[in-house]
A and B are shown apart, each in its own frame.
Chain A
Amino acid sequence: MSNATAVPRAALPPDTPVITGWSAVSPYGIGREAFTAGVRAGAKTAVMADAAYGTLPSPEVCTVPGFDVQELLGKRGTAKMDRLTALTLVASDGLLRDADGEPAVTTDDLTGVVLGITMGSLENVTDFLRQSYTNERPFYVDAGRIPFGSLNHAAGATAIRHGLKGPNTTVAGGRAAGLLALNYARRLLGQGRATRYVAGSAEEFSAAHAWYEATAAQPGDPAPLLGEGCGLFLLEPAGTAGRPPLAAVLSIETRVDIDDDPCATADACARRALERAGVTADDVWAAVPSAAPSDAGRAEYEALAALVPAEALRRVPSMELLGDTSAAAASFQIAAVLSVAAADPDSRGRAALVTAVDRDGAVAAAVLRLLGEDA
């Protein structure tokens, strides 16, 4: 194993996108500290589902503990808010505001938002449709919930809450969504379309989501243990970053598994990402697969196990601990590697490989250079 020497920040080309902040609302709790502590402890998060969800295909869930929307966001405007938007707004507060609720990050008219999702708030959409089908007339529906049913509501609400006037985008990409969103932000930063980005991904747990996932599971697989949450990052070019970078985003590659061979596709995608980053597989300090409970997820693990050193795959606890967090997964994987790296000075200057696979064929891989949390 070669020990890569730490890359001084000054050595980064000024247009390299760097992560300068992150925040997570996760089954470990609300905020970055709760996430970091949970990941470092390798703690499980599965609990018996709240009875309010009604009958579920699997009794255990990995929901965000203590997530009371009105308590966290106030009563105004939240009565009909979908959970996905609420999770995203609370995560955005953690990223952009300090403990007193004051802005903690300088933003301007070119600060963009990109959020990765699966299908938005499935609960909101299914409840609305159910009303239309079952009520006395098809138009007897709760009109107040319509805005929350649009796919891009969470990203839009985040921009409005924080006054972010740059490009605002929602990327629907299932388990690859977090990396697709980061790639989108990286590209627009590179083109000068934005000066900094709030980028990440989110998924909500609901009964509708649970039944959907149970129905979509492969025959023979049990109903998956599902998680939820939102992970957000502040991404800026290294040359103009307002805060010390935690990691540089060296490359992001995407593929579609058209040959029904997720292992080969994940392998090709990860190899290409490493090649573009100028990193050899042996130099990978930590590799974090999505741990999706599907053939694609198992194939992804196999591909990484054959590619990177064994200790790299053990460095970060398995994402299984959070349940299948679907669109939020890849953002949690990055947050997890940052959490582990911050506690290990040996990580500084080393590379991390984060991969994602979706059962619909989307595959993505990102290579980060870990830069430490020095002031």
Chain B
Amino acid sequence: MKKGNPMFSRARIPYGTWGSSFFPAWQMSPLAQVNIAQFAGEAANYIFNKRKVPKNTLDYLIIGSTVPWHWKFWTAPLVSSLLGHRLPGYHMEQACATGLQATVLAGMEVQSGANDVVGVLTFDRTSDSPVGVFPERRAYERTFALSDVWDNFGFDPATGNAMITTAGIAARKHKLDRREVDECAFYRYKQYFETLESGFLDRLLFPFELLNVQGRPLGKVDSDAGVRQVTLGGLRGMHELDTCVTSGTQTHASDGMATLLVTSKAKVKELSTRPEIDIQFIAKAEVRTGPSLMPEAPTLAVQKLLGRTGFTMDDIAVVKNHNPFAVNDVIFSRVMNYDWHNMNKTGCPLVWGHPQGPTLTRALIEGLEEAVDLGGGHVLMFGCAAGDVGIAAILKVS
């Protein structure tokens, strides 16, 4: 995994075959009412249509989601049948690292020669998450009822702490200044709305009209509903929930899907509308940081990745991360001595939300599009995940 040697010589991401839904905040769109796997399958099929990719060219599907959905047992064959082309494949999940990890796994499928065109389809519905009932007669309570999203956010069973607590602990460890965190969050909103205004997101986000069971309109999913303009004064005035964490400097739960393809270099010509653009997998790393320090884990993962590959931040054209807390970005900036103004230029999960499974998929798509606009370069993707884990990867667009 040295600089210049891609981790997968055979695998490529064909430019422009990807797409994502908008990520409306939880309970703010018709997605709150649907089987999200069905939505993901049908939406992916629609996206492939618009991308001129016949679904029958796919020969394997990796799906990624973190919140249980109806008929989850049937994993990729079911979701691909909803896409209109029943395929072998599997389901994977790694909390908010799901999107990036699923993409890397798809690269492995192609690299190994097992498959030529692998779909990555990630999705989650945080709205009205299922409640699991776990009979455990040995336990004091004998039976646990667990609301999948909120009860997990609120309690890491390995450490006993909530997600938000990890942000506070990490902020304190790195002696962050609330004012800088607020400024960073404010800047992230500014970046998002400028990008939205520019039309950049039209290249990757697809609006959808949903139908009820009678086939009549149920509603539209055509915006990152719930994202509102903020002011710096407004952010500064917000109640601090933990150190440097307010409702304005943390993400929000949302619903959505995102998909992309991974294929062989030879197949790119068939699938991509711009086959001259080459997108390679360069390297990937993961770390686990100390208990309840999750927001610093991505930084450590990037450090590890750069250390192993020989890259420096000067080699990177696009920096994009999954930042459920603005704290994440400020820690990264401080540790890596990298100006947080230069990252997440087209938006980030802090602003557009946190449906977990597809979060890093959308971020990755945005990052690749940004690199194409720059004429190519290395794209550094990273983010945190439940369990105080950080993941990072470098892709090369040329």
> Are the chains A and B members of one assembly?
no
A residues with CB within 8 A of B: none
